[in-house]
Amino acid sequence: MLYAKKNNEKIRAKPNKTASCPYCEKEMIPKCGDIKIWHWAHKHNQTCDYSNKVETYWHLKWKKMVKEKNCEVRTEKKDELKIADIKNDSEKVIELQHSPISIREMRKRENHYDDMIWLFDMNERYDNFHFKIRGEDSKNQYVTFNWKWPWEKIKNIKYRSPIFFDFSNHLMNYDNWSELDYELKRFKNYPFSSYQRKCIFQIKKIHNSGRGWGIVFKKNKFILKYMKNILQDRLKEELKENML
């Protein structure tokens, strides 16, 4: 967790500080190492419904981009408390999901947050995808994919909330480099200099076979659409320069 609670304020982790979990109220310990972004964790033997999952660097990195009030936002509905990873100023929740999730849990969250999108961390799984560019308009590339080992959970359901796959730490896995070069020359809107290769993939359809289609766009376009007004001030320049 990026923020814990002390005297009803959200506070960031610092060495030797103490604060409590905004969900279960138990005391949390600051994790202030060299590698991961500084964050809070529960004590080893404590369970908490909110953070029984290990929070990855990927979670923290996305959360750290937005302002404090938009990060880990408490939302209560019918006496049930959930902590939304990111909530923008139009009340849209962005749920960050690193590990496979059950349909039941997906439904629960979709019912709780009226307006939400899913962002799945697919960076470690990108080798399981094979993509083919099928066409483009001024804004998007239309791509079919073959997902080698699709999660049972995700392939055969009708999604209520849009699903995005984050491949932004990797290049998309095109057939081969020459095809990629050819495609990139053809799509003048996609100069794809090294930092612009960061891609987000929106799933439009997945069949039982693991095949499906969707659209690919640059990560900064995703950020512009859903996070523009809630970004930390220090990132505004980077967004303008196309560097996020």
The nearest distance, CB 31 to Zn ion, in angstroms, is: 14
45 versus 138: smaller Cβ distance to Zn ion: 45
Cα separation, 130 vs 146, whole angstroms: 5
The nearest distance, CB 42 to Zn ion, in angstroms, is: 6
The nearest distance, CB 45 to Zn ion, in angstroms, is: 13
Judged by CB under 5 A, does residue 126 bind Zn ion? Answer: no
Characterise 90 by phi-psi region: left (phi > 0), alpha (psi -120 to 50), beta (else): alpha
55 versus 166: smaller Cβ distance to Zn ion: 55
The nearest distance, CB 44 to Zn ion, in angstroms, is: 13
The nearest distance, CB 56 to Zn ion, in angstroms, is: 17
Judged by CB under 5 A, does residue 48 bind Zn ion? Answer: yes
Question: Contacts with Zn ion in 21-40 (CB under 5 A)?
Answer: 21, 23-24
Cα separation, 166 vs 146, whole angstroms: 16
Judged by CB under 5 A, does residue 224 bind Zn ion? Answer: no
Judged by CB under 5 A, does residue 41 bind Zn ion? Answer: no
CA separation, residue 127 to residues 203, 206, 220 (Å): 17, 17, 23
Residue 57 in tokens: 């660097």
Q: Which one, of 93, 161, 91, 169, lies nearest residue 127 by Cα?
A: 169
- Alpha-carbon dihedral sign for residues 26, 60, 117, 127: negative
24 versus 215: smaller Cβ distance to Zn ion: 24
* Site residues for Zn ion per CB under 5 A: 21, 23-24, 48
